[in-house]
A and B are shown apart, each in its own frame.
Chain A
Amino acid sequence: MAEFKAGDQVVDIDEDGFLQEPDKWNEVVAAALGGTEGVDDLTEDHWKVVNFLRDYYLEFGVAPMIRKLCKETGFKLNVIYELFPSGPAKGACKIAGLPKPTGCV
């Protein structure tokens, strides 16, 4: 458990840097988390991915499938890796304030 400063807000993050309380998320926190994942400024494409992840998580309680993320946002997988260098799970989900996805089969 560690503290993370985002603008004037302070939030808790887990050992991998994921937000502990997803409901503490907002655009400022997102931008700050982006900094930790090599995404300094969130372009319109970034927000498209982050918002889709955010909405999906709020509705279904889990992160979406990679293929669904690609199909809904229209970005191919390599585009998503360009947008989020550490990938859909570690990068995009963290910025969208989702808990660390553990896709245990």
Chain B
Amino acid sequence: MAEHKPDQMEFYKQEELQQIDLNPPKEGWQDQPADFRPGSWIYPTKPKHLESLGMPNPREWSPADEDWQLPENWQEIIHKKFKELLGKYRSFRIFMDTCVRCGACADKCHFFIGGGDPKNMPVLRAELVRSIYRNDFTTVGKILGRACGGRKLTMDVIKEWFYYFYQCTECRRCSVFCPYGIDTAEITMMAREMLHELGLGVNWIMEPVANCHRTGNHLGIQPHGLKDTLEFFCEDIEDVTGIHIDPPINKKGAEVLFVTPSGDFLADPGTFTCMGYMMLFEEIGLDYTWSTYASEGGNFGLFTSADVMKKLNAKIYAEAKRLGVKYIIGGECGHMWRVLNQYMDTMNGPADFLDVPKSPITGTVFENSRSTKMIHITEFTADLIKHGKLKLDPKMNDHVRVTFHDSCNPARAMGLLEEPRYIINSVCNNFHEMPENTIREQTFCCGGGAGLGTDENMEMRLRGGMPRGTAVRHVQEKYDVNQLACVCAIDRATLVTVCDYWAPGVQVTGVHELVANAMVMKGQKERTMNLRLEPLPGAEEKEANDGES
């Protein structure tokens, strides 16, 4: 064929610039090993944490290495644990048996929606384990093996589990859409428990677990450190309101023990929410106490194993008993309330030394917590506002146009939907909901839960946060929303980054920061700043003309 010259059409043949061969090889997902490129995995657990907790196989290793230094009989260990878990959890057994792969959950996971990796489809994440279950624990599987979807447990499978079960934030959105309620979070918890038998864990989870075991909170804040931090907040409160507060710490005989996630002690904007709690309790004169021993509501044991979760959670009831309080109030947190609402009473109850929670200010008895005896701060505050016990001036928040992010666990493991909304509507005049299929029980995750909220996991978090970011961007453009309220410490940390990437200009706030900003406290001075010590819009002009006159 004659050589074509540039002015001839044939010269410009189809360049295969973009024919990237991304389509999977024909034999399907079963045989594609996970690709541990840098930035696609979270740093592994440091040995000292596993040692301090007495957990198996502590050593220095990296997922990028070929050899993960696993014990010789690692297959036997996994099978033994797999069998044990199948014997202990009916949910695990049923979720292994009943999936019909109808695909209703396939496009509901925020990591699949944002990233497009098919193994992030909930049905396929579960198949990673189900294929091993089929091959080794069912008679049909043993016979037909690969023909009926079975798969041998190889080293690649373990690596795949580590890769994909630390790409699930256990937000349970898939279980809302599954006709049988199959909960991939439950399967992820089982898989992580099995992986921990081989010492395969993530440092961003195990360090807080070790800290919480030692000092009572994830950050390793020691008792006098917590007192110093709370007093530091009270100084700021005094600057803003002119009211001096002495934070009650480890006070015996108080009516209420208050437990909040330790994120509120260190990470802005959580710290402003913590200030909000103290201002609220001061205003209504609640007889409460903090505890430095039980200074962690959150529980990273939830991302490790049932026993570790129970070990970390036991401190709350033990401390409530020691201090002799009547009941417990829990702060704004996501995973904390998954543990409190669904595990705590079963694991560490019965709490018969406590009373059924009764608000000393309104007299409301919280029947819904008759056994666990612990109520959510928004349940408590909504009740206060409903009975008009708080003097609120929503105009103080007029410069705030807020929307509300339903944190996954309060939404899907409790159903805490109306309480925060009632409070926000009472303290803020411009509140706009995000689109219907991104809130309430269909809420999209922040992309950083279940131990994934660390900086080396940034791209994955931004992919996971994209559906939420898109919804925030929508209300930002449509209603000029500038604040995203939420009731979770991890959300208050990770959503800051999600918003800065997907919807720049939107700040993140806790619900009780809004409450405190709008509260007219007895004996407070004229408010010129909000809790972040930023001048209030009104105050600026007044200051300006004060200066002039």
Verify whether A and B have any Cβ pair under 8 Å. yes
Q: Are A60 and B224 in contact (CB under 8 A)?
A: yes
- B493: which A residues are within 8 A, CB to CB? 105
CA of A92 to CA of B359 in the docked complex: distance in angstroms?
Answer: 46
The answer to whether B221 touches A104 (Cβ under 8 A) is: no
Cβ contact within 8 Å between B219 and A59? no
The 8 A CB mask of B182-221 against A (1 = contact, 0 = none) is 0000000000000000000001100110000001001111
Say yes or no for B537: interface residue by CB 8 A criterion.
no
Chain A hits for B235, CB < 8 A: 71
Q: Which residues of B contact A67 (CB under 8 A)?
A: 232, 236, 268, 271
Residue B261, interface by CB 8 Å: yes
A54 CB to nearest chain B CB (Å): 15
Say whether B204 contacts A102, CB under 8 Å: yes
Tell me if B270 is interfacial: C-beta within 8 Å of chain A: yes
A105 touches B270 (CB 8 A): yes
How many residues in A have their beta carbons less than 8 Å from beta carbons of B? 13
Residues of B close to A74: CB separation below 8 A: none
- Of chain A, the residue at the smallest CB distance from B491 is A105
Which of A60, A66, A71, A104 lies in contact with B222, CB distance below 8 A?
Answer: A60
Q: B228 at the A/B interface (Cβ < 8 Å)? A: yes
Number of chain B residues whose Cβ lies closer than 8 Å to a Cβ of chain A: 34
Give complex CA distance A103, B455 in Å. 11
Would you call A62 an interface residue if the criterion is a C-beta within 8 Å of the partner chain's C-beta atoms? Answer: yes
Q: Is the CB of A104 within 8 A of B454?
A: yes
User: Which B262-293 residues have a C-beta within 8 angstroms of A?
Assistant: 262-263, 265-268, 270-271
Number of A-B contacts (CB under 8 A): 57
User: Is B490's CB within 8 Å of the partner chain A?
Assistant: yes
Contact A104–B219 (Cβ < 8 Å): yes
Main secondary structure on B side of the interface with A: helix
Evaluate whether A62 and B222 lie within 8 angstroms (CB atoms) in the complex, with A103-B267, A104-B207 already known.
Answer: yes
Tell whether, in the assembled complex, residue B225 and residue A60 are in contact, meaning their CB atoms are under 8 Å apart. Answer: yes
Return the chain B residue nearest A72 by Cβ: B232
A104 touches B225 (CB 8 A): no
Q: Which of A59, A66, A105 contacts B490 (CB 8 A)?
A: A105
Q: Find out whether the CB atom of A104 lies under 8 angstroms from the CB atom of B232.
A: no
Q: Which residues of B contact A28 (CB under 8 A)?
A: none
Q: How far is the CA of A64 from the CA of B41 in the complex (A)?
A: 29
Which B residues touch A104, using CB under 8 A? 204, 207-208, 218-219, 300, 453-454
* Cα distance, A81 to B262, chains bound together (Å): 26
Least CB distance, B38 to chain A, in whole angstroms: 14
Q: Who on chain B is nearest to A66 by CB?
A: B268
Q: Write out the residue numbers on chain B whose beta carbons fall within 8 Å of the beta carbon of A102.
A: 203-204, 207
Q: List 29 A-B contacts (CB under 8 A).
A: A59-B224, A59-B225, A60-B222, A60-B228, A61-B215, A61-B222, A61-B225, A62-B219, A65-B229, A65-B232, A65-B265, A65-B266, A65-B271, A66-B268, A67-B271, A71-B235, A102-B207, A103-B219, A103-B267, A104-B204, A104-B208, A104-B454, A105-B218, A105-B261, A105-B262, A105-B263, A105-B298, A105-B489, A105-B492
B residues lining the A interface (CB < 8 Å): 203-204, 207-208, 215, 218-222, 224-225, 228-229, 232, 235-236, 261-263, 265-268, 270-271, 298, 300, 453-454, 489-490, 492-493
Task: List the interface of chain A (C-beta within 8 A of B).
Answer: 59-62, 65-68, 71, 102-105
Q: A60-B222, A62-B219, A67-B271 are in contact. List 19 more A-B contacts (CB 8 A).
A: A60-B225, A60-B228, A61-B215, A65-B232, A67-B268, A68-B229, A71-B232, A71-B235, A102-B204, A103-B219, A103-B266, A104-B208, A104-B454, A105-B218, A105-B262, A105-B263, A105-B266, A105-B298, A105-B490
